[in-house]
Structure 1
Amino acid sequence: MPEAIAYERQGDIAILKAQNPPVNALGLDMRKGLVDGIARAEADDGVKAVLIYGDGRTYFAGADIREFGKTPQEPYLPDVCNRIEASPLIVVSAMHGTALGGGLEIALSSHYRIAVPSARMGLPEVHLGLIPGATGTQRLPRLTGVEKAIEVITSGRQIGAKEAQSLGIIDRVAEGEPREIGLAYVQDLLDSGAERRAVSELPAPQPIDFDAAYEATLKKSRGQLSPAYGVRAVQAACELPFAEGVAEERRLFMELMGTDQRQGMIHAFFSERAVGKLPELDGVDPRPINAIAVIGGGTMGAGIATSALLAGLPVVLLEMTPEAAEAARKRIEGNLGGALKRGKLSQEKFDALTQTALTLTTSYDDLKDVDLVIEAVFEEMGVKKKVFAELDRVCKPGAVLASNTSYLDVDEIAASTTRPGDVLGLHFFSPAHVMKLLEIVDADKTAPEVLATGFALGKRMGKISVRAGVCDGFIGNRILKTYRTAADHMVLDGASPYQIDKALTDFGFAMGPYAVADLAGLDIGWATRKRLAPTRDPRERVPSYMDKLCEDGHFGQKTGKGYYIYEAGKRAGVPNPEVTKLIEAERAELGLSPRDFTDDEIIRRYMAAMVNEAAKVVGEGIARRPLDVDMVKLFGYGFPRYRGGPLKWADLQGLPALLDDIKSYAREDEYFWQPAPLLEQLVAEGKTFDDLNKAAG
């Protein structure tokens, strides 16, 4: 096996080539190789400079994820960085591919940096609940200034070579192979008599109001600690000598390593990669998909069509009338127009997608050649069955027939065709061209290659695809209904919708449940309540105050009034006093005496309901693994990523205490608070949800 770092000499230049494919991750062998390579160059008579570059498709792309969670071994990355910079030789990094995290920190420890135009770099550690821990927070601000360094570190975003040059992160951009442009740059430096330029020896950057920056960052990240810690690390670069600043960066880094947030972020990182891998699909080939159809051009259908077009798929969109089809085209053009404005899409590409790749029709017969159809019509079983009967008539053998239903029984939909094996659910989330989650509903008769085709489509569209079984609401909406009901119970018992929304946004949710209801449209919940009323158990507590608001035509943001009142041009609303009056009237009617709830109690009950229902969903096999639930909630429902997902949160809280709480709530309402058998089993066996993830591989 070749050494991780190859050594070569060309004239008075020593060349260190990283050769640890596919991403030249900075594992132990790579770190040792760099230290040994620098020492060898220094001992090599006549060598004046060192070039570091990566073989294959990238410079050092970052840390070796196989070492995550293991005890680090020497040499540690900060020591490698300092050793490179301390060399009396001129050290140059030539960058291509990605230089992320430790990769960029190695480059910042070089005395000069050159990159190809397509190179990308950044410090993404905040996405793992950390800060850069190998001197990046101390070196970067000396090059970019404080404000730019804070933005790069707290966002974790990737930066292109041109921008990196304008920020002072790299010195030159040049076309060509990294080795060739690197050697040419080193030669230029030697010919011009350039001296070593150690970033750590540059003047400390000018400070700013760090307390204000810390508070603003904490607010922007909705309670995630790592970006705010990044601000404190940059502050150390301004206020302390370099070595002491590095020690403070390390202290902050190690403090974050011990937090629940770090565990949540790492869980999210690995689960995101594991969620789309199903053992039963190993070796199962998806059916080829070269053209798709979408039925229904409303907000959801237009979003799905947009997502497919952006994935390079031609789309036939079916609507009932030419006018509705034209309205669908305008929605799709509006969706793509955002990308056009931001420069993500050229005018030529925009025109090709909207005029060539998109076909509008009002006839089912035009769907005869497509490989996959996604139905996105009104959420009513009779309507869906009619659509699928037509698809059964016109679609070619082997075409995949998918429903975008968010609640309805996919088995029943499939039974309205003569080919139930070709049917599955593809539940997109609105806006479908933006939201990353895709629930792939595996119906009773769905063929394995049809399920594999759903996952292949999700991958092509850049979605986080999660397999779900058939039940009312699948994974996400079934659990949502339960924790939303827990919130409704708290409102009847004395909490206000506005206190609940605030407690949950303070917890880290993007929005509280009542603001979400206004955004989605109160008429959706109203329709669901009416649909389920005939079969409702008499023990179920269902508030009726919102029905009165809906009866008056108030459906939330789209009508300007719901739980909140929305002024034109303003996204945020103010509490609607009518709602408070309706709640008080219903409490009086039911003979309920309101009591006070603390924010902590609100969070505990809301989360307990979420976890308990999620445990039922996993126990019944609707979700295969706890991590499937976690990914659904992170990518579709605004759950804070730094908490890892509801079942990771539950593990971190401790399952025995959570089960005790659920049992105590059951003393007030034993119908709603029925402990999940799986939760009781895990507590009895002293296990966690994560043990189930590991067992599932």
Structure 2
Amino acid sequence: MSTATMPTVTTQLRDSIAVIYLNNTPINMGNAALRSDIAAALQDTSTNSAVTAVVIASALPHFYAGSDLVEFGGELHSPELPSVIATIEQLEIPVIAAMNGLVLGGGLEFALGCDIRIGDPSVQVGFPEVTLGMVPGAGGTVRTPRVTGIPTAIDLVASARRITADEALCVGILDEIVPASELLDRALTLAKSIRIKSRVIDRAVPPAAQEEIDAVIARVGRRARPNVLEAINLVQQAGVGNPHDALTNERRVFNRLRFSDEAKNLRYLFFARRAAAKALRSKANPLPVRTVGIAGAGTMGASLARTFADHGFSVVVFDRDPAATQRLAAQVDRVVPATDIAGLTDADLVIDAVFEDMAVKTSLLRELEPVLAPTAVIVSNTSYLDLTELSRALTHPERFAGLHFFNPPHRNPLVELIPTPTTNLATAATLSQFITRLGKVGIPAGLGDGFVANRVYADYRTQAEFLVEEGSSPTEVDRAMRALGMPIGPFAVADMSGLDIAWARRKRLAATRDPNQRYVAIADRLCEAGRLGQKTGAGWFLYPDGSRRAVPDPDVDTVITAERALKGIESHSIEPSEIQNRVLASMLCATAGLVDSGIAERPSDIDVAMTEGFAFPKELGGPVREMSSRPDSAIVAALAAVYASCPVTFAIAEPASRGVLPETVAHCLNEVREQN
């Protein structure tokens, strides 16, 4: 046995079989170095007449986890991936891929260039490219339908979902599944027994009924992004004409799309999520969490229970109301109900999901701490309350922090981790790992009213109410924000969440509110009239007969007109572009204030929060990213309009009223602009 080693590749000769190990630490990410070393190893193999077959395997937990996204923003260095795959196909001897772990994007395209693909049970394959504004660019849309058929290939490419080894075998991507301990031996056995090439690119695309193809496309939906539709079209055309022409066309589309604004913004968000996740990590060892306790069996408690149970945790839910616990147990499987707080005794982590009231939560914490093990972590899901004050209810506040889930947590991926001044590193590490195990997108947040995400959203909502007070209707504001790309406008969101939540916050802050601060009382009047949103059938809009479809209500117009009259405001028409600009500028002001105060660590965290938690269009990259794409003169104009709407609320924008970009805002914009 002879061995040849390069920086990211090792080749061992086993009798007449060349085994090429990929070893680009830590996860075999495809980049110029790995591609170059693979190409060199293949070239060396091709010149050795004693070699009768090649096995490509991994020396790491993943076979080939995907391509390095950093490279996609500029010129790709030679050899590019299609060239490496072509080298595999041009070898006169068979090549077997022995796959393990992640095989995604370019990694899967690389594997499809091999003649045979076997894998162990850890294999996960998929094409994530459409989530990044692109299409597969190294044969994914051309080779995949040749092994799976067009309907399955459309599903895989357009959905970007990962599939397990079992499903990969079922659809034809894998030829065999073998135990991890036997993977290399089986690959060597195959290599010795097979003497002819079996190139995927030479295969015909299996016929499929048009009805089946149409059904898969219909599942993708009419609102699919343009790049998704292009990917579908490429798959459909894979079997038309010369396959090498199809490969060339796919690469052309890939290169065009990777330089699009959408792809740049989606890559920005990818790295922003990664930066936020890195910031959450602690050097301390996390405590084990097997059983999670929830205090409160209301809507939030039920959704949290479902989330935790779905991710393999044992769940106990405490509520003194037997009807509430029984109702929850009927809704969520694998949950143990408890009407005595002692039922939470064995929980490793307990989250409070009781009513958003300081006295209620403080009382719960005092009662809860004595029944728990000394190592149990306690967290509050409060949206606005002072966590430091809450921690004073505990004898051991070092094991307490905020873990703010966004509604509904079984669907909403965003979580804020908010340590208090007394939270220890072990607690922070435990909660960071907990977020990861839940598959959530976490961001760090500091102490402050609304923490990070809700603080930004509060300024968004405040500016929207200013616009209504000045002349827009709730329908016009919602329509303008939907035109920007939001799936739902701020007033429809408020109705869906319940107007009483924000109303309670306003009443709580009333005593400390600056008397010079502009205050819109329209929402208060709606709440006083019992219009609390969808749950009462009326809020900013009307929801007749229990419908969730918002219908404009003349009674709301009457309230708005009356409030304008009280303030002597003469309403005027406001263009959709002004609505969008002022809302975005308001969010930018909030971001600058949060970063300047240290409550948010970086402006990109706000873009992550708004895109993950509040459905801001990801293709725009988030509100800060969207504003950063504009000329400074346009940003100053928008900030000046926001400052004029309320100099107290948006004091940070004051320099804009003098034609100057505020320094704190410029800092945030420049930081985001550098992340290209």
- 2:117 corresponds, among 113, 119, 137, to 113
Alpha-carbon contact 2:325-2:337 (below 8 Å) kept: no
Q: How big is each residue's C-alpha offset from its partner over 1:234-292, in whole Å with a ceiling of 9 and x where there is no partner?
A: 4664666434333332332222222232222122212222213349x753344555655
Instruction: Tell me, in whole angstroms, the C-alpha distance in 1 between the residues paired with 2:317 and 2:349.
Output: 12
In the superposition, relative to structure 1, how do residues 384 and 233 fare at CA in structure 2: closer, same or farther (>3 Å)? same
Q: Identify the residue that residue 199 of structure 2 maps to in structure 1.
A: 197
- 1:472 corresponds, among 449, 453, 463, to 449
**1:248 and 2:230 are equivalent in the alignment:** no
Instruction: Tell me, in whole angstroms, the C-alpha distance in 2 between the residues paired with 1:226 and 1:450.
Output: 42
In the superposition, relative to structure 1, how do residues 417 and 515 fare at CA in structure 2: closer, same or farther (>3 Å)? same
Greater mean deviation of Cα atoms: 153-162 or 24-33: 24-33
Alpha-carbon contact 2:86-2:113 (below 8 Å) kept: yes
Q: Identify the residue that residue 76 of structure 2 maps to in structure 1.
A: 72
| SS state at 1:431 partner | coil
Structure 1 unaligned blocks of 5 or more: 337-352
Alpha-carbon contact 2:72-2:258 (below 8 Å) kept: no
Instruction: Tell me, in whole angstroms, the C-alpha distance in 1 between the residues paired with 2:270 and 2:297.
Output: 34
**1:601 and 2:578 are equivalent in the alignment:** yes
Alpha-carbon contact 2:64-2:102 (below 8 Å) kept: yes
Greater mean deviation of Cα atoms: 281-290 or 48-57: 281-290
Q: Identify the residue that residue 127 of structure 1 maps to in structure 2.
A: 131
Q: Identify the residue that residue 332 of structure 2 maps to in structure 1.
A: 335
Letter in 2 for 1:121: V
Offset, 1:572: 4.1
In the superposition, relative to structure 1, how do residues 417 and 100 fare at CA in structure 2: closer, same or farther (>3 Å)? closer
Structure 2 counterparts to residues 462-501 of structure 1, below 5 A: 462-501=439-478
Instruction: Tell me, in whole angstroms, the C-alpha distance in 1 between the residues paired with 2:290 and 2:102.
Output: 31
Q: How many residues align?
A: 665
Offset, 1:58: 3.0
Q: How big is each residue's C-alpha offset from its partner over 1:42-71, in whole Å with a ceiling of 9 and x where there is no partner?
A: 333365543333334332222245656464
Letter in 1 for 2:638: D
Letter in 2 for 1:603: Q
Offset, 1:484: 0.7
Alpha-carbon contact 1:218-1:227 (below 8 Å) kept: no
Instruction: Tell me, in whole angstroms, the C-alpha distance in 1 between the residues paired with 2:571 and 2:434.
Output: 50
Instruction: Tell me, in whole angstroms, the C-alpha distance in 2 between the residues paired with 1:655 and 1:530.
Output: 37
Q: Normalised by the size of structure 1, how large is the TM-score?
A: 0.84
Structure 2 counterparts to residues 544-559 of structure 1, below 5 A: 544-559=521-536
In the superposition, relative to structure 1, how do residues 172 and 292 fare at CA in structure 2: closer, same or farther (>3 Å)? closer
Offset, 1:654: 4.6
| SS state at 1:688 partner | helix
Q: Identify the residue that residue 663 of structure 2 maps to in structure 1.
A: 681
Instruction: Tell me, in whole angstroms, the C-alpha distance in 2 between the residues paired with 1:452 and 1:484.
Output: 34
Greater mean deviation of Cα atoms: 487-496 or 454-463: 454-463
| SS state at 1:113 partner | strand
Q: Identify the residue that residue 223 of structure 2 maps to in structure 1.
A: 220
Alpha-carbon contact 2:452-2:606 (below 8 Å) kept: yes
Q: Identify the residue that residue 318 of structure 2 maps to in structure 1.
A: 318
Instruction: Tell me, in whole angstroms, the C-alpha distance in 1 between the residues paired with 2:218 and 2:579.
Output: 25
The alignment yields a C-alpha RMSD, in angstroms, of 3.7
In the superposition, relative to structure 1, how do residues 185 and 418 fare at CA in structure 2: closer, same or farther (>3 Å)? closer
Q: Normalised by the size of structure 2, how large is the TM-score?
A: 0.86
Offset, 1:547: 4.1
Instruction: Tell me, in whole angstroms, the C-alpha distance in 2 between the residues paired with 1:407 and 1:437.
Output: 16
Greater mean deviation of Cα atoms: 299-308 or 571-580: 571-580
Offset, 1:105: 0.8
Structure 2 counterparts to residues 134-533 of structure 1, below 5 A: 134-174=138-178, 177-187=182-192, 189-190=194-195, 196-199=198-201, 202=204, 219-221=222-224, 224-234=225-235, 237=238, 241-278=242-279, 282-287=282-287, 289=289, 291-330=291-330, 334-336=331-333, 353-354=334-335, 358=336, 360-363=338-341, 370-391=347-368, 395=372, 397=374, 399-533=376-510
Letter in 2 for 1:114: I
Q: How big is each residue's C-alpha offset from its partner over 1:516-543, in whole Å with a ceiling of 9 and x where there is no partner?
A: 1122122323333443444444444444
Alpha-carbon contact 1:51-1:94 (below 8 Å) kept: yes
Greater mean deviation of Cα atoms: 122-131 or 226-235: 226-235
**1:59 and 2:68 are equivalent in the alignment:** no
Offset, 1:613: 0.8
Greater mean deviation of Cα atoms: 122-131 or 537-546: 537-546
Alpha-carbon contact 1:297-1:317 (below 8 Å) kept: yes
Greater mean deviation of Cα atoms: 74-83 or 197-206: 197-206
In the superposition, relative to structure 1, how do residues 276 and 59 fare at CA in structure 2: closer, same or farther (>3 Å)? closer
Q: Identify the residue that residue 347 of structure 1 maps to in structure 2.
A: none
Offset, 1:474: 1.0
Instruction: Tell me, in whole angstroms, the C-alpha distance in 2 between the residues paired with 1:328 and 1:213.
Output: 35
Instruction: Tell me, in whole angstroms, the C-alpha distance in 2 between the residues paired with 1:417 and 1:60.
Output: 48
| SS state at 1:426 partner | strand
Instruction: Tell me, in whole angstroms, the C-alpha distance in 1 between the residues paired with 2:544 and 2:178.
Output: 51
Structure 2 unaligned blocks of 5 or more: 656-660
Instruction: Tell me, in whole angstroms, the C-alpha distance in 1 between the residues paired with 2:231 and 2:465.
Output: 39
In the superposition, relative to structure 1, how do residues 578 and 178 fare at CA in structure 2: closer, same or farther (>3 Å)? farther
In the superposition, relative to structure 1, how do residues 398 and 559 fare at CA in structure 2: closer, same or farther (>3 Å)? same
Alpha-carbon contact 1:615-1:676 (below 8 Å) kept: no
In the superposition, relative to structure 1, how do residues 692 and 296 fare at CA in structure 2: closer, same or farther (>3 Å)? farther
In the superposition, relative to structure 1, how do residues 298 and 151 fare at CA in structure 2: closer, same or farther (>3 Å)? same
Q: Identify the residue that residue 16 of structure 1 maps to in structure 2.
A: 20
Letter in 1 for 2:199: R
Q: Identify the residue that residue 38 of structure 1 maps to in structure 2.
A: 42
Identity %: 35
Offset, 1:457: 3.1
In the superposition, relative to structure 1, how do residues 50 and 291 fare at CA in structure 2: closer, same or farther (>3 Å)? closer
